[in-house]
Amino acid sequence: MPNSLYAAQAELLQVLGHPVRIRVLEVLQGGPIQVRELLAALELEIELPELSQHLAVLLGCGVVVVNRRGATAVYEVVGGDVAELLAVARRVSAVRLLGA
């Protein structure tokens, strides 16, 4: 496997390694959503500028896409692989937290 692929994998895991980004991706699994609706659905104490920064990181990594409808930004997850990766991470984390 070329080093560039390892580097790309490491970058993806770093991007996914933030609790807010994980929550954003969980919400986006429900389908495309406008940014203000996304902010409300997160149920986190963050403001729009912080959410925008996290979305920019996810966009830069190619994990989400944005469609603009006038002044409205609608975000969605790219493909189903991200959901599968998050599900595996959740299972592994749950086992670790439960000490099993």
Tens digit of each residue's pLDDT (9 = 90 or more) over 24-74: 999 999 999 999 999 999 999 999 999 999 999 999 999 999 999 888 999
Q: What is the pTM of this model?
A: 0.88
- Residue 75: pLDDT over 70: yes
- Of 13, 29, 20, 27, give the one whose Cα is nearest residue 48: 20
Structure tokens at 44: 């986190």
Q: pLDDT class for 1, splitting at 50, 70, 90?
A: low
pLDDT band for position 100 (50/70/90)?
low
- Count of beta carbons in the 10 Å neighbourhood of residue 32: 15
Are 66 and 73 within 8 A, CB to CB?
Answer: yes
Name the residue type at position 3: N
pLDDT at position 95 over 80 = yes
Query: Mean of the pLDDT values across residues 66-93?
Result: 91
Spatial separation of the C-alpha atoms in residues 69 and 83, rounded to whole Å: 25
